[in-house]
Amino acid sequence: MADPLVTVASLLAPAFERVAGRGGVDPVVRPSDRAHAQANGALPLAKELGRNPREVATEIVAAAALDGVAALEVAGPGFINLTFTAEFLAGQVALVAADDHLGVRPAAAPETVVVDYSAPNVAKEMHVGHLRTTLIGDALVRMLGFVGHRVIRENHIGDWGTPFGMLIEHVIDLGGELGEIDLTDPGALYKQARAKFDASDEFKERARQRVTLLQSRSDPMTMELWQRLVDQSADYFDLVYGRLGVLLRREDIVGESFYQPMMPAVIERLDAAGLLDESDGAKVVWVPGFTNREGDPLPLIVQARTGGFNYATSDITCVLDRVERLHATLLVYCIGTPQSQHLQMVWKATEMLGVLVPPARAVHVNNGNVLGEDRKILKSRSGEPAMLLDLVDAAIERGRAIVADRTPDLSADERDELGRTIGIGALKYAELSTDRIKDYVFDWDRMLSFEGNTAPYLQYAHARIHSIFRRAEVSPDSVLGQTPLLGEPAELQLALKLLAYDGAVAETLERWSPHRLCTYLFELAQDFTAFYDACPVLKAPSDELRTSRLALAALTARVLASGLGLLGIDAPERM
């Protein structure tokens, strides 16, 4: 167990239990600004025993067997302050260095987790809104996998429904030719079709009939054109994902169309469970607790009057598929905040069906908006929401511009790659280091700065450690296993931070908040800088100390690279 707080809590528990005269007492060990940690459990225990809390705390301290681990002191109304010994921390650091997960504990109960993220729509562009769900989802996928869950990525693309009537009809008008997808305007076809749809009743009617034909899946030509539209968009999505460096692949696409054939049976199940009702000719589910603006019950429409299924039907079917076919117990949805009510209603309906019930559960990892300087959703020059591919390309270009005047000793190819790493890293980190629930203002200068809580700052901290090793002419791996000497406060502080990686990952996953991991990495880089300023490494007073400090540096680089990796960000060795 890497986290000293966890270790010390388990070592303290017997003393608490002795004084309590019962088992199962939590010492409540927390970080502290007075000492390395504090145990707060004596206060509730004293209350339980009807005794003076300081007395109880004093008895616990006397009963505790923490020799060589920590010094204990009763403070305030009955807190127990803990100061770890250097030897204990050094031993823990060595354990972390020897662990290929750097002390991050595997999940106590590994689960099958489906992460639903990105989810763009066919024949439309990926825009800045998809940046958030794509990056947040991708980081969570990496972290869930790192702690040992079986993770299934699902890209729930919009590839079915009414828009395909007009799209297919428009393509037919064009003689069946889709043409090359225009990467500067991937939604061009859609816009043309939409314009025709709005202008012509005749086209509108044809589009309607085409949807019905599509839904019947009976017409080969319709299916063929639909498939080509989907394939073309999948190529485009792949290109964006590849350039952005996220894990989503074509195989991860499980679009709305995938669930269509299962929907009639789902309607029957809802009916058999007595959950189906009719409202205005549509088939609906009344989900308790949801009302419209007038305060009237809000129906969840699962089949339109015309017989067509809709977004809610597809998401209900999706829950059933994930729980019953994939045997997932945790369903994670990375989708913007506006879809919260939709998800809550869908989940409640599947709960009423007896499907989304413990151990199966779902979580909405929602997110706010990316804003421009005008505090409105970030726009492109044309005034539409900024296109994701444009942002990705601009990030790469800006990263390369930074590299151009920094690294003369690299080859042109190496410099291109490094520029990409810096640009994409900055874009991803700006996103992930912000509390996902909040809106944030997109700012190239800030995200590309080498100062502050940014990717370039962290990447540079990592590269700088590697440059120390290049100068020392030893490899980081050769010293990594050494138990460090922790004599200086800055060494102790760095050791403590290195040991907190486990807790940072755990907290990030508990709250589904990648920004917590970012904050941790930023603090780690700062603690390393403080250590490096205070403690000469290459010119350390003794060989022993030099090796010890190199070991701390090597582990810092490891943790930085690992943590950035969990965010989907590369950590170059030179910058």
Residues that bind ligand ARG (CB under 6 A): 116, 119, 121, 156, 158, 315, 318, 335
Adjacent-strand bridge partners of 333? 116, 364
CB closer to ligand ARG out of 286 and 311: 311
CB closer to ligand ARG out of 94 and 355: 355
CB closer to ligand ARG out of 93 and 123: 123
Nearest distance in Å: CB 123, ligand ARG: 12
Nearest distance in Å: CB 329, ligand ARG: 17
Nearest distance in Å: CB 135, ligand ARG: 15
3-class DSSP state for residue 327?
coil
Instruction: Give me the half-sphere count of Cα atoms (radius 13 Å) on the Cβ side of residue 192.
Output: 15
Nearest distance in Å: CB 21, ligand ARG: 52
DSSP 254-307: --HHHHGGGHHHHHHHHHHTT-EEEETTEEEEEEEEEE-TTSPEEEEEEE-TTS
* N residues, the chain: 575
Q: Going along 353-400, which residue ranges are E strands?
A: 361-365, 370-371
Nearest distance in Å: CB 363, ligand ARG: 13
- CB-closest chain residue to ligand ARG: 119
Residue type (1 letter), 54: R
Nearest distance in Å: CB 382, ligand ARG: 20
Adjacent-strand bridge partners of 82? 37, 72
Could you tell me whether strands 282-291 and 276-279 are parallel, antiparallel, or unpaired per DSSP bridges? antiparallel
Instruction: Give me the half-sphere count of Cα atoms (radius 13 Å) on the Cβ side of residue 330.
Output: 21
Residue 457: which residues within 8 A CB-CB, separation 6 or more?
449, 450, 451, 522, 525
To which H or E segment does residue 382 belong? none
Nearest distance in Å: CB 16, ligand ARG: 46
CB closer to ligand ARG out of 318 and 498: 318
Dist. CA 127–CA 272, nearest whole Å: 41
CB closer to ligand ARG out of 233 and 421: 233
CB closer to ligand ARG out of 318 and 569: 318
CB closer to ligand ARG out of 316 and 432: 316
- Confirm if 448 and 428 have CB atoms less than 8 A apart: no
Alpha carbon distances (Å) from 350 to 266, 269, 272, 276, 287: 10, 11, 13, 12, 10
CB closer to ligand ARG out of 153 and 497: 153
The distance of Cα 135 from the centroid of its chain, to the nearest Å, equals 7
Nearest distance in Å: CB 383, ligand ARG: 20
Tokens representing residue 243 in the block: 């350039």
Nearest distance in Å: CB 337, ligand ARG: 12
CB closer to ligand ARG out of 156 and 283: 156
